[in-house]
């Protein structure tokens, strides 16, 4: 049976999905019956008679069994998804900002009304992270999940580093290529990867943390001096999201620019590529990589949910996610690089130790140790003062992968 689809939104992801579906001819798992958009006057690649503007025309159509929600506004998305689940429809959403705030509510509605909610496209574009966590890692005993979860910022960092572009030029390109959010501060301030981290941590650990509780610092304040500092050490800067479990089961969630060297799993990730490193008991480290943003890679993740749901009916998503609400606990001590415009401010920041400090044109550059529990106030102070902070020590997992590789490739 083929799905009759109601599509909400026709931006980069909606168009990518539509293009892929239409390229499949007879093998497509469904067809788009209606497309609902908000703005009547926007120029679109399809003629105006293809669009409707009233969500009820889709939601109240009993023949439309599958809803694809790829709109921008989280609150509008929640209303559509909630209503569709209450009507028992299958809903495929790419809306990480909405899901990171409302997933527990939606899971309850899903259980009460028998609808089905799938959201592979909401995190890391083409990487099938939820399918992996849900099925392959169901008994995985995961201890950490870490990676590059935002394509736009990885693209910006790559272009600044490789082509010497300035931040605004690189951001402009990320917008033109359809990688950035319509409000790009979600990307550059790290809120987008923080939303994805909340969702990935929910599946990896069964714990629910509010996105506002993720300690988050983006790359808005990055300066040439920071990239040069990294380069001088043979490193690159990547925006890493991490969720780590302590020995006592506490969860630490951070989004932080991080200096990575050639021994890191994330060093080779360029442009809009994302990477997710999963550490677990039996298989130690596994790295999944792929395009994390863009119309077709993300549209394909939507298609994959659709195809799986049509093929498997209600058996897809058959292990209902059980979530325990948790307050994160910041238990590590981190080595960090800090650029601070003002010597007085640098002295006041609650570092455990300052290991090295140098004055330069863009302020003081320091290497320091900080308890993760003190990161939040440091980030607030640096954000307000045009400073920058990046994690320094690569986690033992990165070195571990390197040593596994050399063992495998060593001549016997
Ligand atoms: N703005 C997001 C990113 C889109 O750059 O990763 C994909 O989620």
- The pLDDT tens digits for 87-142 are 999 999 999 999 999 999 999 999 999 899 999 999 999 999 999 999 999 999 99
| pLDDT score at 1 | 83
Which of ligand 1's atoms lies nearest the C-alpha of 180? Answer: 1
Shared-domain flag, residues 133 and 183: yes
What CATH number is given to the structural domain containing 88? Answer: 3.40.50.720
Contact indicator for 285, 400 with CB cutoff of 8 Å: yes
Give whole-number Cα distances, 349 to 221, 226, 363, in Å: 17, 19, 15
Report which secondary-structure segment, H or E, holds 280.
strand 273-280
Average pLDDT over residues 347-362: 94
More confident residue, 409 or 193: 193
Shared-domain flag, residues 104 and 40: yes
Residue of 143, 150, 126 whose CA lies nearest to 204? 143
Shared-domain flag, residues 278 and 185: yes
Shared-domain flag, residues 19 and 97: yes
DSSP track, 295-334: HHHHHHHHHHHHHHHHHHGGGTT-SPPP-EE-------EE
The confidence band for 21, taking pLDDT boundaries of 50, 70 and 90, is very high
Q: Which of 100-104, 142-146, 226-230, 394-398 has the lowest mean pLDDT?
A: 394-398
Q: Is residue 138 part of a domain?
A: yes
Domain residue limits at 9: 3-118
The confidence band for 395, taking pLDDT boundaries of 50, 70 and 90, is very low
Q: Is residue 164 part of a domain?
A: yes
Shared-domain flag, residues 184 and 59: no
Q: Is 196 left (phi over 0), alpha (psi -120 to 50) or beta?
A: alpha
Q: What digits encode the pLDDT tens for the residues 170-227?
A: 999 999 999 999 999 999 999 999 999 999 999 999 999 999 999 999 999 999 999 9
Average pLDDT over residues 8-34: 97
DSSP 133: I
Q: Is residue 299 part of a domain?
A: no
C-alpha–C-alpha distance, residues 34 and 388, integer Å: 46
Domain count across the chain: 2
C-alpha–C-alpha distance, residues 31 and 3, integer Å: 6
Question: Taking CB atoms and a 6 Å cutoff, what residues make up the pocket around ligand 1?
Answer: 125, 150-152, 179-181, 187, 192, 292-293, 298
- Distance (Å) from CA 243 to ligand 1 centroid: 19
Which of ligand 1's atoms lies nearest the C-alpha of 123? Answer: 8
Q: Is residue 246 part of a domain?
A: yes
C-alpha–C-alpha distance, residues 224 and 378, integer Å: 21
Angle 173-46-11 (CA atoms, 0-180°, nearest 5)? 40
C-alpha–C-alpha distance, residues 69 and 73, integer Å: 11
For the cut 60, the answer to whether the pLDDT of residue 148 exceeds it is yes
Q: Is residue 110 part of a domain?
A: yes
C-alpha–C-alpha distance, residues 242 and 369, integer Å: 18
For the cut 80, the answer to whether the pLDDT of residue 318 exceeds it is no
Shared-domain flag, residues 147 and 38: no
DSSP 21: H
The confidence band for 319, taking pLDDT boundaries of 50, 70 and 90, is low
Residues assigned a catalytic role? 196
Examine the fold and report which residue of 97, 118, 139 is the final residue of a domain before the chain moves on. 118
DSSP 244: E
What CATH number is given to the structural domain containing 270? Answer: 3.30.360.10
Which of 15, 120, 269, 292 is the best mutation target for the ligand 1 pocket, counting ligand atoms within 8 Å of the beta carbon and taking the most?
292
Which of 148, 185, 293, 300 is the best mutation target for the ligand 1 pocket, counting ligand atoms within 8 Å of the beta carbon and taking the most?
293
Examine the fold and report which residue of 89, 118, 147 is the final residue of a domain before the chain moves on. 118
| pLDDT score at 312 | 84
């Amino acid at each position: 049976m083929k799905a009759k689809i109601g599509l909400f939104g026709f931006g980069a992801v909606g168009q990518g999905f539509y293009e892929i579906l239409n390229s499949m001819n007879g093998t497509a798992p469904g067809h788009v019956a209606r497309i609902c958009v908000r703005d009547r006057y926007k120029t679109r690649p399809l003629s105006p008679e293809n669009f409707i503007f009233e969500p009820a025309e889709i939601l109240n159509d009993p023949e439309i069994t599958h809803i694809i929600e790829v709109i921008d506004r989280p609150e509008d998305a929640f209303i559509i998804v909630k209503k569709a689940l209450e009507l028992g429809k299958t809903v495929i959403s790419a809306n990480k900002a909405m899901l990171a705030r409302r997933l527990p509510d939606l899971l309850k509605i899903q259980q009460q009304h028998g609808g089905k909610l799938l959201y592979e496209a909401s995190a890391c574009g083409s990487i099938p992270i939820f399918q992996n966590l849900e099925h392959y890692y169901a008994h995985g005993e995961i201890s950490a999940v870490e990676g590059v979860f935002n394509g736009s910022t990885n693209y910006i960092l790559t272009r600044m580093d490789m082509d010497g572009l300035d931040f605004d030029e690189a951001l402009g390109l990320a917008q033109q290529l359809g990688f950035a959010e319509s409000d790009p501060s979600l990307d550059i301030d790290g809120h987008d990867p923080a939303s994805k981290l909340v969702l990935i941590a929910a599946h990896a650990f069964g714990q629910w943390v509010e996105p506002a509780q993720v300690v988050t610092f983006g790359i808005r304040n990055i300066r040439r001096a920071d990239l040069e500092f990294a380069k001088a050490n043979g490193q690159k800067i990547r925006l890493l999201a991490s969720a780590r479990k302590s020995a006592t089961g506490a969860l630490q969630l951070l989004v932080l620019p991080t200096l990575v060297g050639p021994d890191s799993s994330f060093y080779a990730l360029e442009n809009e590529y994302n990477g997710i490193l999963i550490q677990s008991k039996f298989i130690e480290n596994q790295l999944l990589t792929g395009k994390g943003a863009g119309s077709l890679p993300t549209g394909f993740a939507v298609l994959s949910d659709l195809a799986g749901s049509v093929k498997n009916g209600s058996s897809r998503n058959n292990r209902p996610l059980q979530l325990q609400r948790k307050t994160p606990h910041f238990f590590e001590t981190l080595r960090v690089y800090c650029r601070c415009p003002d010597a007085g401010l640098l002295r006041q920041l609650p570092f455990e130790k300052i290991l090295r400090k140098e004055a330069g044109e863009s302020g003081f550059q320091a290497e320091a140790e900080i308890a993760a529990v003190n990161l939040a106030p440091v980030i607030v102070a640096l954000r307000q003062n045009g400073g920058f902070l990046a994690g320094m020590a690569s986690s033992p997992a990165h070195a571990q992968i390197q040593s596994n590789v050399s063992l495998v490739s060593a001549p016997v």
